[in-house]
Structure 1
Amino acid sequence: MSKFKKQKSGDLPAISTASLPDIVFMLLFFFMVATVMREDELQIENNLPLANQVEKLAAKNKLVYIYIGKPSAQYQARYGTNDVIQLGDKISTVSEVQTYVNTRRNDMPEDIQDEMMVSLKVDRNSKVGQLTDVKQELRDAMALKINYTAKQGDPMRNVRNR
């Protein structure tokens, strides 16, 4: 007979928490990479027109956004009440459109630069003159793929009674 007998207990060993910080940081890193942050803070009124044949674009990394509309209430003292153009996070002039588009094109990976598309988010109450000037600058920048952003709805509600 042996003098030293090991007593076996039926208890399970405690769960090791040594890898818990690794798991937490891995999840944190995943959510930081997967989360899309809002790129532009709107400084204009942007009530989009309604359309009944709206398609959702698949690749948003190929888009360059240009906003046109009246400055929102907090910016009217600085920019007035006429239609303005917002490029990125700042109100700009028409002459800056070409530089902005070319800069954004150069920031894209080389294989998708030819697929770049300009998305115009124009307020439904904006004047056509500002839009025409922007489109001319886009032609000069060789940004010929343009789409107009709209909301799903009845387009007849865009018509104002005069």
Structure 2
Amino acid sequence: MSKFKKKKDGGLPPISTASLPDIVFMLLFFFMVATVIKEDNLKIQNQLPKANQIEKLDKKKPISYIYIGKPSPNYVDTYGTEDRIQLNDKLQSVKEVQAFIAAERAALAEELVPTLTVSLKVDKDAKMGVLTDVKQELRKTNALKINYTTKKGDALTN
């Protein structure tokens, strides 16, 4: 009887999974950086007016967008040719503006609610009556931080 036994050929050693978490996190970071955040799908014509004295908004503060203009040619059959209001991805009436602002505030952390800015992206050919109605609804909800989005350029060439 021998003290030492000969090793049997065990085949391939098991695959090491020590680097698997590193690979997963690298993929996670890649997709976080490479992913594009969805923009609103515009259903209205939105040709912004030009202005020469503009300021950029602080990206750290929450911003809600309200679009005003005529429906784009794809939606003229459904919504007509009068000026419409788009809140997120839906064309809605002036009465829904209060509910929209309430939903936007509910989605924010409590300390960010007072800093919510409403950015109005109004088509340069839109009628002032619809804009005035929207501003009245914003006053009723106490959303008083309003911004008008424009393009940079000469205001006299509008």
> Does residue 28 of the first structure (1) align with residue 27 of the second (2)?
yes
The alpha-carbon distance between structure 1 residues 42 and 24, as it changes in their structure 2 partners (threshold 3 A), is farther
Gaps of at least 5 residues in structure 2 are: 1-15
Instruction: Tell me the alpha carbon deviations over residues 107-147 of structure 1, each in whole angstroms, 9 at most, x when there is no partner.
Output: 10111101101000000010000000000000001100000
Q: TM-score, normalised by structure 1?
A: 0.81
Partner of 2:47: 47
Mapping for residues 67-78 of structure 1, pairs under 5 Å: 67-78=67-78
Alignment of 1:1-162 (within 5 A): 19=19, 22-34=21-33, 35-59=35-59, 61-158=61-158
1:37 CA displacement: 0.9
- Equivalent residues, number: 142
List gaps (5 residues or longer) in structure 1: 1-15
Tell me if the contact between 2:61 and 2:115 (Cα under 8 Å) persists in the aligned partners: no
Question: TM-score by structure 2 length?
Answer: 0.83
RMSD value, Cα: 1.9
Compared CA separation, residues 97 and 31, structure 1 to 2 (3 A): farther
Provide Cα deviations, 1:65-86, integer angstroms capped at 9, x if missing partner. 0000000010010000110000
Q: Sequence identity, in percent? A: 53
Contact 1:44 1:68 (8 Å CA) reproduced: yes
From the superposition, tell whether residues 54 and 24 of structure 1 become closer, same or farther in structure 2 (CA, over 3 Å): farther
Partner of 1:3: none
Is the 1:122–1:149 contact (alpha carbons within 8 Å) kept by the matching residues of 2? yes
Contact 1:67 1:120 (8 Å CA) reproduced? yes
> Following TM superposition, by how much is the alpha carbon of 1:30 offset from its aligned partner in structure 2, in angstroms?
1.9
1:39–1:88 contact (8 Å) kept in structure 2: no
Native 8 Å contact 2:46 2:121 kept in 1: yes
